[in-house]
Chains A and B, each alone.
Chain A
Amino acid sequence: ETGVTQTPRHLVMGMTNKKSLKCEQHLGHNAMYWYKQSAKKPLELMFVYSLEERVENNSVPSRFSPECPNSSHLFLHLHTLQPEDSALYLCASSQGGAGYGYTFGSGTRLTVV
């Protein structure tokens, strides 16, 4: 256990479904992140939250909607996804900025059918 827990570990959803990914950290960190990991591509930063405020959104399609209700929880709401959105979605947290290093969760393996 790294201190960052992601659920579910695996998710299969149809293109018309709505689902949510959950991330929880009890490390006292003040920043949380969503990354997308696809085969043969660098990790893609999707969203950054610092002190529960969204800091960065790297032009992610609106079918991905993040939510950070408090400093310990982060959600990624999914709706009308495409097959190319199938990937490993990783959550990470940090204290004081990424320069101090991230703690990652184990990820959610998403398959869109």
Chain B
Amino acid sequence: GDSVTQMEGPVTLSEEAFLTINCTYTATGYPSLFWYVQYPGEGLQLLLKATKADDKGSNKGFEATYRKETTSFHLEKGSVQVSDSAVYFCALSEIAGGGADGLTFGKGTHLIIQP
């Protein structure tokens, strides 16, 4: 079956540091890939997505590139802020659209940014 593997953390960085959170996946088909973010006491919010190989999703300074050859979708940000402290989830969907289906999530990576 499908699965998503990501570093669990916590990952602790200083403000303005460079961030990478690794995510790799296994899927039987050609999935769409996502990063979601969860702030304390909240539900998950879609951060960015990519639907085909070599696509780059970006939002709020975060980026991730769909790498089919390495089955990866690593999240990066050039300069993190304290407000980026949250839990980040990598996820995939086998069906790009049409009909209901569920997302497969990784366990989440807790990111802590220190001033």
Q: Given A2-B45, A90-B43, A106-B41, do A100 and B105 touch, yes or no (CB 8 Å)?
A: no
| Contact present for A101 and B46 (CB under 8 Å) | yes
Q: Does B95 reach chain A (CB closer than 8 Å)?
A: yes
Contact with B along A74-92 (1 / 0, CB 8 A): 0000000000000000101
Which residue of chain A has its CB nearest to the CB of B43? Answer: A104
Q: Does B73 reach chain A (CB closer than 8 Å)?
A: no
| Contact present for A97 and B95 (CB under 8 Å) | yes
A-B pair number, CB within 8 angstroms: 82
Q: Which parts of A41-57 form the interface with B (CB within 8 Å)?
A: 41-43, 45, 48-50, 55-56
| Contact present for B43 and A107 (CB under 8 Å) | yes
Question: Which one of A6, A97, A106 lies within 8 Å of B101 (CB-CB)?
Answer: A97
Contact with A along B31-66 (1 / 0, CB 8 A): 010101000011111100101000000000000000
Question: Which one of A6, A33, A41, A100 lies within 8 Å of B102 (CB-CB)?
Answer: A33
Shortest CB-to-CB span from A15 to chain B, Å, is 26
Shortest CB-to-CB span from B89 to chain A, Å, is 7
Instruction: Return chain A residues, CB-CB under 8 Å to B67.
Output: none
Q: Does B107 reach chain A (CB closer than 8 Å)?
A: yes
| Contact present for A42 and B107 (CB under 8 Å) | yes
Q: Does A99 reach chain B (CB closer than 8 Å)?
A: yes
Query: How far does the alpha carbon of A90 sit from the alpha carbon of B45 in the complex, in Å?
Result: 12
Query: How far does the alpha carbon of A58 sit from the alpha carbon of B101 in the complex, in Å?
Result: 12
How many of B's residues come within 8 Å of A, CB to CB?
28
How many of A's residues come within 8 Å of B, CB to CB?
32
Shortest CB-to-CB span from B17 to chain A, Å, is 25
Instruction: Return chain B residues, CB-CB under 8 Å to A6.
Output: 43
Instruction: Return chain B residues, CB-CB under 8 Å to A48.
Output: 100-102
Shortest CB-to-CB span from A105 to chain B, Å, is 5
| Contact present for B93 and A99 (CB under 8 Å) | yes
Interface residues of B (CB under 8 A from A): 4, 32, 34, 36, 41-46, 49, 51, 89, 93, 95-108
Question: Can you name 13 A-B residue pairings with CB atoms under 8 Å?
Answer: A6-B43, A42-B106, A48-B101, A49-B100, A50-B100, A97-B96, A98-B93, A98-B102, A98-B103, A99-B97, A101-B49, A104-B44, A107-B42
